A and B are shown apart, each in its own frame.
Chain A
Amino acid sequence: MVTQYITEIESGVDDTSRLAAKGVSVGYGARTVIDDLDVAIPPGVITTIIGPNGCGKSTLLRTLSRLLKPTKGTVVLDGDDIVKLKTRDVAKKLGLLPQAPVAPEGLTVSDLVARGRHPHQSWLRQWSSDDAAIVERALAMTGVADLADRPVDSLSGGQRQRVWISMTLAQGTDLLLLDEPTTYLDLAHAVDVLDLVDDLHESGCAVVMVLHDLNLATRYSDNLIVMREGSILAQGHPRDVITADLLEEAFGLRAKVIDDPVGDRPLIVPIGRTHVQLDGNS
């Protein structure tokens, strides 16, 4: 059953992909979370990793971003083994936003976003006019320019997440890795942040993110990676990947997949125990 969902995952790197994992195994201490996994991130689209809790979504993202070192296999960034690259050179190519980052109390929005220029700076050249222009553009693009002088801790959760994304943007990479950018946000703010992520994608960035909410993932991604127990169950366009059978298989979730009334993607309607009126078979 499993193999039929896998749509065209080549073993190895596909030519257009800038970031790929080849035969990667990762774990924490003695515990192996991901075993012998291959994946290629397609360029210029939004890729979202979904899967049940503890399936290794974040571990995969952290491995792709070089936060974790694989015990076996390699992560390839623009043709190079990412582990062998300098940390600074990775930071010039790949922007990373970890889960729920915390800024020091009292730090202003502009100072936080300005820190995104760090990979491009040196001891002698700590701030250039280029830096200022790029930071201003990042602030404007994420809609937080008006908040520039405010302390980050005085903002709402949604605004704060915009500011962090703005910092990642100021890094000037066209590859962004976001680990659960909508954690702790209500639905309205989550949609707001994902609209921003889509803007970044429109402006030419490839985005890889981890999301919990399946419908948001379906709506905002061009490429879904569905994981279960450390391996990839399916990968492809949401229209091809999201089916009732797959949701049952990956999450153990009984759901009905219908056409999204406001979008061109599928919509997942979970079937719980109560208040369900089912006609015929699910």
Chain B
Amino acid sequence: MKAAVAPGVRLGSVSFVWRPWLALVTLVLTAATFLVFCLSISIGDFPIGLSQVIATLFGRGEQVDEFVIMDLRMPRALAGLVVGIALGVSGALTQSIARNPLASPDILGITGGASVVAVSLVTVSGGATAAVVSSVGLSVAALAGGLCTGLLVYFLAWRRGIDGFRLILIGISVSAMMEAITTWLLVKADIKDVARAQAWLVGSLENRSWDEVWIALWCSLALLAVVSCVAFQFKPLHFGDEVAAGLGVRYSMVRAVLLLCAVLLAAVAVSAAGPVPFVALVAPQVAMRLARCPTPPLVASGMTGALLLIGSDLVARTALPITLPVGVVTAAIGGPFLVYLLVRANLK
């Protein structure tokens, strides 16, 4: 009989289950993300060869290139990378916690809350606040808005534990409320402010400053570190609370920590790039099917998110005759690809 149980790998005192296919898919996704990341820096009004881009990234570029790369294009590409990974991981966490693929941060009210705060800052007090609040201030305020709404949804959904459907229903209700407030703010606002608010609302990687990117990068790194520490305890939660408890997991604590991380990651992403739709929903589902895992794999989901976001941004500003906001393209590429994977599974 062939080996039924997955083989293990040991490195000193570290050991883990060896899943060759998952490892291969994750590696390929990472390589593809790096490639698209470099391409995104290389392509522009002033094209720079891929080799120069890579040389500059490792500190061996020429000075002319270095200015274009590091000062002009890098923030945009890096923002795409960070936001993509944050959204992918956040979606994988929320979908796993709710045991439901619909439970993306968009649906759980985080995007809606961030939008309300951002739009009200831009519109309510007119240009006055807008002038005072720098783009960094806007990001931080949006982050706070997203976080508060996410926590509100969590506490409203809490009833002797967290039930997936309840979480989604309350998330949808709160999101709808936030959307209504956003619309109301836009309707009664000055037309000039509306344009600025709209630009924020569609989600874009344009004109990112290093300051904004640094905030998003460090916040995400810290959150991902927490997630990777807790993720091991999280695995049994896919079987439900009672089985997890039977396997020695303090499930309410583990879930609360991870859900908080997911909310924060999504809020960081929204504050850095605006509400880019669909990435958090589709990336974990695509990663799960590519890696043939029964549950969303965290690293592969993050990489898929980054690949989708940077790739979409690249398509949005180069391949199309008009420059579209990245959010339009993420939905246009990610949606059909997920449908293709689902249909392919049906045909088998």
Contacts and interface: CB of A to CB of B under 8 A. Distances in A.
B229 A128 contact: no
A92 B7 CA distance: 23
Nearest to B16: A126
B4 A126 contact: no
B207 interface: no
A96 B7 CA distance: 26
Given A107-B294, A110-B4, A98 B247 contact: no
Contacts of A67: 242, 245-246
A149 B6 CA distance: 10
Please report whether the interface of chain A is mostly helix, strand, loop or mixed according to DSSP. Answer: mixed
A81 B246 CA distance: 17
Given A118-B235, A118-B248, A127 B17 contact: yes
A166 to B, nearest CB: 11
Nearest to A135: B5
B239 A132 contact: no
A91 B247 contact: yes
A278 interface: no
B312 to A, nearest CB: 28
A194 to B, nearest CB: 20
B246 A168 contact: yes
Contacts of B132: none
A125 B14 CA distance: 5
A211 to B, nearest CB: 18
Nearest to B11: A124
Nearest to B19: A111
Interface residues of A, number: 51
Contacts of A103: 238-239, 294
A124 B14 contact: yes
Contacts of A90: 248
Contact of B8 (A65, A86, A119, A131): A131
Nearest to A126: B16
A42 B17 CA distance: 38
Given A118-B248, A128-B15, A148 B294 contact: no
A95 B243 CA distance: 10
B235 A115 contact: yes
Interface string A105-129: 1110011101110110111111111
A192 interface: no
B240 interface: yes
A95 B246 contact: yes
Contacts of A104: 99, 238-239, 294-295
B247 A119 contact: yes
Contacts of B8: 127-129, 131-132
Nearest to A152: B294
Interface string B154-189: 000000100000000000000000000000000000
A272 interface: no
B14 to A, nearest CB: 5
Interface string B247-273: 111100000000000000000000000
Interface in A59-96: 65-67, 86-92, 95-96
Interface in B286-339: 292-295
A37 interface: no
A97 B245 CA distance: 10
Nearest to A96: B246
B295 to A, nearest CB: 5
Residue from B4, B8, B235 with most neighbouring chain A CB atoms (10 Å):
B4
Contacts of A88: 248-249
Nearest to A145: B4
B46 interface: no
Contacts of A122: 232
A171 B239 contact: no
A148 B5 contact: yes
A1 interface: no
A263 interface: no
Contacts of A127: 6, 8-9, 15-17
Residue from B9, B229, B240, B250 with most neighbouring chain A CB atoms (10 Å):
B240
Give 7 closest A-B pairs by Cβ, nearest first. Answer: A91-B248, A148-B4, A96-B246, A98-B242, A88-B248, A119-B248, A127-B8
23 contacts: A65-B246, A87-B245, A87-B250, A92-B248, A96-B242, A96-B245, A98-B243, A102-B239, A104-B294, A106-B294, A107-B295, A110-B5, A114-B17, A118-B236, A124-B14, A125-B13, A127-B6, A128-B15, A131-B8, A132-B7, A148-B4, A168-B246, A171-B247
